[in-house]
Structure 1
């Protein structure tokens, strides 16, 4: 990646920040797009310390014209965009009836349409040149949903359908531009500290939990090998997705019963907690939240299990894991 220009959205914290630093370690010029200036400045320092070149551009990915302006600046300062990574998102932890129409629309606009805006802007430059890679940062929840995150699950499902359609169009054109998706497991990011939550207890990632650097390595790998339609990180991601396909009713029943507790700690939530749905918490008056969340003690820093969606050998292993999961769910369901 040395000498290449990479754009990372959602680069101020969490996965996006880990991805930006990983590309910096490869010697890339990295444009950092997000809303929070304090987080962006800290991320830029990490990219340059790792050996890359950083360009900070504060932008809300929900605003298509601003995203286009950001891309123009990137190419003027750093050169033609080679890789575009769509990682920006926001979420609400709550039962669907407790999420207002405006809140639901905001999650959808940032998480789904932000990805659409980024992809459109990237392809507008890559298609005429006949080169470039777009990497969508997806989620296992884009195929197998959980309760209490209806807006986020819906947006991630939408990204999968949108990306598949765009990929078909590029193939029809015989374009050398590639679009791929990296489906991620639960990660230890600041999301659980700054997302809007109406849960009685503090939100948490569903175990098993991985560190953001695991995701970052997968994204860099996907950018280098983009011809695979999809990558899945972590055995839990592949196993859950395949279990949902093999025994959807059983998995849904299991998650309906366990999904509430699995997404909350034992600690009571604050009565009024700040959140980043409308404004960044790492803005000029805020603080830098970093890459990691508060679950370092349980988060794994590596996963040997990254699956290319069309790799038959690894998919066979994943199918075996899914069958075991489905049988376990069937047994538990029979006891209830």
Structure 2
């Protein structure tokens, strides 16, 4: 697949005000791409564009709520109006809801689906006509290891991520069948240290957390930038995520047992947090940054190169799986 180098690309990043999206936008700009950033937080977008421009990059901001198709389409159309084309569409935007299933309202569950699933559907629908006109490009969807394995307290989030994986698998085949050189990449992060846990709505009574260990957002950005230049199907970020994916395929009952042991207490901090404020329906201020509050729980990931060179690293993965099946932590994949 003949994809452009990053310094020749126009890249749109949805969900760019904080976390993975913010880091990826900065990295694209550093490598010479022209960047369009979008999110609901206008304050976050303004500070991001200023940071990019001060470093010599070229970026514009277009605010949008991804749950509204016309707003998402506006981002794609204005990208082409301003820069002349669209080469890569990166969809990171997501919201979280931490609660038992029977404590959710229909409206809350639907809102998570509207943002996390329908937002990505709308993004692909808005970007594809422009990518098809160019004849090549990348659609990069950020899902989660939870697209493969659900954890307690996150039924709505996991449902949305399962749904994204379902529609992009079909879309990828359709584009290949039609002969388009459009890369459809599924990036599946494990638990990432971003402000996701500060912003999501919780009914747990305390600030939620991913089940440690955490990984740095830069690892996901590495995967995103790689997928913008190379054909990528599925790219799991974080060693524990890879182990979990294989464990789930081998024995879902084993993963059930592990989650019963650590999946409930492991997602609760000792810090009180009320349901409000949260970003389920509106953006909240104060979290327009890349990293979250769990830097001390971050660990390195050694197997992320598998998707860049599968043959050379197959043995390393086998060793890691055999040595790590007992480590059933690290579930999630948060923005």
Q: For residue 6 of structure 1, report the CA deviation from its aligned partner.
A: 0.2
Q: For residue 231 of structure 1, report the CA deviation from its aligned partner.
A: 1.1
Deviations 1:282-313 (A, max 9, x none): 3xxxx45311111122224x533213299245
Alignment of 1:55-134 (within 5 A): 55-134=60-139
Aligned length: 322
The worse-fitting range, judged by mean Cα deviation, of 82-91 and 45-54 is 45-54
Q: For residue 167 of structure 1, report the CA deviation from its aligned partner.
A: 0.6
Tell me which residue corresponds to 2:269: 265
Q: Structure 1: give runs of 5+ residues left out of the alignment.
A: 330-336
Q: Structure 2: give runs of 5+ residues left out of the alignment.
A: 1-5, 329-335
In structure 2, the CA distance between the partners of 1:271 and 1:114, relative to structure 1 (3 Å rule), is closer
Looking at structure 2, the residues matched to 112 and 315 of structure 1 have their Cα atoms a distance apart, in angstroms, of 32
Equivalent residue in structure 2 for 1:222, among 213, 223, 227: 227
SS at match of 2:243: helix
Tell me which residue corresponds to 2:177: 172
SS at match of 1:2: helix
In structure 2, the CA distance between the partners of 1:328 and 1:91, relative to structure 1 (3 Å rule), is closer
Alignment of 1:3-42 (within 5 A): 3-42=8-47
Q: For residue 103 of structure 1, report the CA deviation from its aligned partner.
A: 0.6
In structure 2, the CA distance between the partners of 1:249 and 1:272, relative to structure 1 (3 Å rule), is closer
SS at match of 1:132: strand
Tell me which residue corresponds to 1:297: 296
Looking at structure 2, the residues matched to 279 and 228 of structure 1 have their Cα atoms a distance apart, in angstroms, of 33
Alignment of 1:180-195 (within 5 A): 180-195=185-200
What CA RMSD, in Å, does the superposition of the two structures yield over aligned residues?
Answer: 1.8
Looking at structure 2, the residues matched to 35 and 315 of structure 1 have their Cα atoms a distance apart, in angstroms, of 41
Q: Check whether the contact 1:228–1:310 (CA below 8 A) recurs between aligned residues.
A: no
Looking at structure 2, the residues matched to 52 and 288 of structure 1 have their Cα atoms a distance apart, in angstroms, of 23
TM-score by length of 1: 0.91
Alignment of 1:249-328 (within 5 A): 249-267=253-271, 269-282=272-285, 287-300=286-299, 303-306=301-304, 307-308=306-307, 311-326=310-325
Alignment of 1:142-221 (within 5 A): 142-221=147-226
In structure 2, the CA distance between the partners of 1:153 and 1:253, relative to structure 1 (3 Å rule), is same
Q: For residue 81 of structure 1, report the CA deviation from its aligned partner.
A: 0.5
SS at match of 1:181: strand
Q: For residue 47 of structure 1, report the CA deviation from its aligned partner.
A: 2.2
SS at match of 2:75: helix
Q: Check whether the contact 2:62–2:75 (CA below 8 A) recurs between aligned residues.
A: yes
In structure 2, the CA distance between the partners of 1:327 and 1:91, relative to structure 1 (3 Å rule), is closer
Looking at structure 2, the residues matched to 310 and 101 of structure 1 have their Cα atoms a distance apart, in angstroms, of 44
Q: Check whether the contact 1:42–1:288 (CA below 8 A) recurs between aligned residues.
A: no
